[in-house]
Structure 1
Amino acid sequence: MTALSSSLSRYDAICEVAGADLPHPAQAEIEQLGFSLTTEVLDTFLGSALEDQLPIIMEGLIGGFHSAALRLQREADRAHDDMRRLHRDFDGSEIKDVELQDATLRYNRADAAIMIIEVLRDAACENYTAQTGEVWTPWRGSAKTHTASYAVIEAKDAMKARRVREQGLMDPGTEVVVFRGSPQAKTSLDANRIFDALNWALSQHPAMKLATTGNLGAEQIALKWARDKKVGVVLAKADFERHRRAAPFKANDELLALDPVLVLTLDHSLEGDSDDAFGPAANIAQKARENGLRVMSVTRRK
């Protein structure tokens, strides 16, 4: 087995082992591709007549990547079986040696392809969840998260590295801006003022991440702003199955636990004269003030 250079990333090392004649795409390119593909689909269908069918559409897109990874996995499994058989029956002849090298090459190349498709799938899946709060799960076959790649490196070290990466992705940073808004706040006036507020927040906190529950209406407008501005998103989606009626308020507690630098709220639509406040938005504003956090309400222009 080819030794993996410690100076290479795991992605680059697996690609190097594959020994392909043409270069493999860089990991950042694959992750950007997954992000771009899902962003284009979301931008096209969110707010359209097909918005309700978006989960099915995304299932087809992300599930297609997953299906490709499963097919490649079957190729790798066949090559791996050939390798085991040839190792067992190896007699030192040149023919057996060539067959073993060929099986090893087929396995390594399939392994690299699986890793690349899984990176693409996972990037698409993460972006879909970040932008909508929905979670994609495979309709068949288990999601492998690069398991095949770990056969080429030490498994314990690989799993440790993955945990470190996951913890890094979960780190919201030091400039979290929370936004909670009414599902009824979805008019053009609401959208314009939400954009104004978030643009101001970004000017004050250039490294900001937007934290929200991804609720309908105002918070979906905020997520669209984040997509357009390429601002990172932290989701604390309300878990109604677990917390029932208290779910929106439990989500507020999760958002405040991020220690935000600013809490923005819009508890009713700015269009019309309705004073019916959205309870969870009013609740998080009250809790944030009690905790000494900066709170601002999105209002009409004066």
Structure 2
Amino acid sequence: MTKFNNFADLAAQLANDRIARSDETHEQSYDGAFIEHSEIAKLSVFEEPIATEMPDPDMARAAVELAVGTIFDVFRDTRMEEFAQQIVWGFVNSFHMTARLAEGREDDAAKKLGELARNYDPSEIHAVEMEETQLLCQTLQGCREAIEAMRDHASEVYRVETGKPFTATRGSQVSRSSVTASQIQARDFLAARNRQRNEEHAPTGPMVVVSGGQVWHDHEMLWDILDDIKARIPEMVLATTGMRKGVDAIATAWAQARKVKAISFIPNRAHGNRAPFLRNENLVKLRPVEAIVCEGSGIQSNLAQRLRQAGVPLHIRRIASQRAPQGANRA
């Protein structure tokens, strides 16, 4: 028990040092995610229901602060500092991948529950199976929401420390239990829209497109333009062309900081050299209400031309119009 108390005291002390720079959204997401759907839990169709509680949300929040913050602190101002970002990215990504696995199991349980509900059977065996499948679905939902809350918190600490957004390599980054920003892959967005699925994967709202080269340093310029657009269009949804560096990464970091849903439209490489231009065409078909295009390659020039032809209000920024690089990242 002494070990538990020492960890709690240490976690609380470190958390208090860092919580000041986090907004209240994370507390709300933890409180909303770490709830008891039932006094009984079930995580496998082969096991009996058990009476276990969810982790304490305050301790979970402190543990994320402790784990992520300590890695940055230990490596800071040492020759290994550059590796901290890679290690923490992997840590945050492990939450993301685990949440996706839990979501897959949850979807399977929900599918089975739907089949059981459609195939009515008055027998006691059928009733028990339905009850246990529903409990399994609820338990997995609660676990997924808790893991997503921790992932979102860890990714925010990562963004504050590095000035860069955490972007998962696979799948959309959405949280049904929180109000944090979501990063949605274009494939999930289009599929959800076609099937008229949920708001998490097919957000509704005025679309604002951002695209630019991968070599871009003027964060202030882009953040100022995006802040101005959001002030005029509070319900905007950000669409980027999916690059992990430069203009797209800066815009995605802004979306995370401002809690704006972002959709990454990565070219489908199956189309070969035509892929980026087909992607540009599809972006214009979404009828964006405004766009920012920064100088990059012929792909950005093509997008700007298509947007202008479609009558979309356009902000064009040249590489030469950037201000001198700043020493510190904008938080």
TM-score by length of 1: 0.54
2:301 is matched with which residue? 282
Task: Report whether the alignment pairs 1:293 with 2:312.
Answer: yes
Question: Any residues of structure 2 matched to 1:229-244 within 5 Å, and which?
Answer: 229-240=258-269, 242-244=270-272
What do the CA deviations read for 1:231-264 (whole angstroms, capped 9, x no partner)?
1112211222x12222222221222121111111
Task: Report whether the alignment pairs 1:134 with 2:169.
Answer: yes
User: Quick one: distance in 2 between partners of 1:301 and 1:50?
Assistant: 29
What do the CA deviations read for 1:52-85 (whole angstroms, capped 9, x no partner)?
5677434422344466789999xxxxxxxxxxxx
1:81 is matched with which residue? none
**Against the structure 1 CA distance between its residues 279 and 51, is the aligned structure 2 distance closer, same or farther, given a 3 Å change threshold?**
farther
1:198 is matched with which residue? 226
Question: Any residues of structure 2 matched to 1:57-96 within 5 Å, and which?
Answer: 57-65=91-99
1:154 is matched with which residue? none
Q: Which runs of 5+ in 1 are unaligned?
A: 1-10, 74-85, 89-99, 138-162, 268-276
2:327 is matched with which residue? none
**Against the structure 1 CA distance between its residues 209 and 290, is the aligned structure 2 distance closer, same or farther, given a 3 Å change threshold?**
same
Question: Any residues of structure 2 matched to 1:1-302 within 5 Å, and which?
Answer: 15=37, 49=83, 56-65=90-99, 109-120=135-146, 132=167, 134-136=169-171, 164-166=196-198, 168-185=199-216, 187=217, 190-215=218-243, 216-240=245-269, 242-267=270-295, 277-298=296-317, 300=321
AA at the equivalent of 1:283: N
Q: After alignment, is 58-67 or 249-258 more displaced?
A: 58-67
User: Quick one: distance in 1 between partners of 2:309 and 2:104?
Assistant: 51
AA at the equivalent of 2:206: E
**Against the structure 1 CA distance between its residues 291 and 133, is the aligned structure 2 distance closer, same or farther, given a 3 Å change threshold?**
farther
User: Quick one: distance in 2 between partners of 1:54 and 1:164?
Assistant: 36
What do the CA deviations read for 1:163-189 (whole angstroms, capped 9, x no partner)?
6543x344443421100111011x2xx
User: Quick one: distance in 1 between partners of 2:238 and 2:312?
Assistant: 16
**Against the structure 1 CA distance between its residues 238 and 164, is the aligned structure 2 distance closer, same or farther, given a 3 Å change threshold?**
closer
**Against the structure 1 CA distance between its residues 285 and 16, is the aligned structure 2 distance closer, same or farther, given a 3 Å change threshold?**
same
C-alpha contact 1:18 1:108 (8 A) present in aligned 2: no
Kindly, what percent of the aligned residue pairs are identical? 21
1:272 is matched with which residue? none
User: Quick one: distance in 1 between partners of 2:148 and 2:279?
Assistant: 25
C-alpha contact 1:59 1:136 (8 A) present in aligned 2: no
User: Quick one: distance in 2 between partners of 1:294 and 1:230?
Assistant: 23
For residue 228 of structure 2, give the secondary structure of its aligned residue in structure 1.
helix
* Alpha-carbon RMSD: 4.9
For residue 183 of structure 1, give the secondary structure of its aligned residue in structure 2.
coil
**Against the structure 1 CA distance between its residues 23 and 259, is the aligned structure 2 distance closer, same or farther, given a 3 Å change threshold?**
farther
Q: After alignment, is 282-291 or 118-127 more displaced?
A: 118-127
C-alpha contact 1:256 1:288 (8 A) present in aligned 2: yes
**Against the structure 1 CA distance between its residues 69 and 181, is the aligned structure 2 distance closer, same or farther, given a 3 Å change threshold?**
closer
Deviation at 1:134, TM superposition (A): 2.7
2:180 is matched with which residue? none
User: Quick one: distance in 2 between partners of 1:288 and 1:254?
Assistant: 11
**Against the structure 1 CA distance between its residues 247 and 109, is the aligned structure 2 distance closer, same or farther, given a 3 Å change threshold?**
same
Deviation at 1:18, TM superposition (A): 5.5
What do the CA deviations read for 1:83-136 (whole angstroms, capped 9, x no partner)?
xxx967xxxxxxxxxxx98x99876654421222234557889998x9636324
**Against the structure 1 CA distance between its residues 56 and 278, is the aligned structure 2 distance closer, same or farther, given a 3 Å change threshold?**
same
TM-score by length of 2: 0.50
AA at the equivalent of 1:266: C
AA at the equivalent of 1:200: D
User: Quick one: distance in 2 between partners of 1:243 and 1:53?
Assistant: 34
**Against the structure 1 CA distance between its residues 113 and 228, is the aligned structure 2 distance closer, same or farther, given a 3 Å change threshold?**
same
